[in-house]
Amino acid sequence: AQSVTQPDIHITVSEGASLELRCNYSYGATPYLFWYVQSPGQGLQLLLKYFSGDTLVQGIKGFEAEFKRSQSSFNLRKPSVHWSDAAEYFCAVGDGRNTDKLIFGTGTRLQVFP
Amino acid sequence: GAVVSQHPSWVICKSGTSVKIECRSLDFQATTMFWYRQFPKQSLMLMATSNEGSKATYEQGVEKDKFLINHASLTLSTLTVTSAHPEDSSFYICSARGMTSGSYNEQFFGPGTRLTVL
């Protein structure tokens, strides 16, 4: 069965520090991978997605993620975190390009200290 | 990006009553809408998928008579929790997607509705 694991429940970083949020997936075929951010009172917003091609994908707000098939990972990174990045981050795997069914990880809460 | 709203943002009800949650796509026509449930410190779980004018498709383990979904228009879907009980207390999130065109079509998510059943 498809599954997504986000090993880190809560991460705290200082503003300006680099960030890496981990995501591992279990999927039998070529995965369609997504990262979403959820801020309080707002809906999930898509940060970036991977379908095929270049394994390093760029997203909005300065985020990037790298697909590593050998490690079944799709880690999210940002070189310098801003206080406004504090939020909940979800990794997800989709059944297809049209995201008919998204399987989400349990999320990682990011806290940013000034 | 496209905007999806939910109403109400939170609701408290007595056990045994029914609660209706609305999901609206404000600036696009949503041919498909999805309903998710999120427990504290857990991931979003897809409950059902609905296409405009059709009956919803429920995920395994989701009671369709308990969670009634109506998608009567291209901008509105409703989720009715019937005869709610405390175990139905949760955060309900909807998302909407426009007509597929062969290329990627993003799901846009609403802000969620917090349901508390006393």
Does the structure show a pLDDT above 80 at B51?
A: yes
Of A46, A51, A98, Cβ closest to residue B100:
A98
Average pLDDT for chain B: 90
Mutation choice for B interface testing from A99, A103, A109 by most B CBs within 10 A:
A99
Does the structure show a pLDDT above 90 at B105?
A: no
Give the residues across from A109 on adjacent strands: A10, A88
- The tens digit of pLDDT for each residue in A29-60 reads 778 899 999 988 788 999 999 988 899 999 99
CA separation for the pair B57, B49 (Å, rounded): 5
Mean pLDDT score, B39-66: 90
CA separation for the pair A7, A52 (Å, rounded): 24
Instruction: Give the C-alpha distances (Å, rounded to integers) separating B92 from A25, A54, B20.
Output: 24, 35, 11
Q: What is the model's pLDDT at position B23?
A: 96
Q: How many angstroms separate the first and last alpha carbons of chain A?
A: 41
Of A43, A101, A106, Cβ closest to residue B109:
A43
Q: Which helix (H) or strand (E) holds A36?
A: strand A32-38
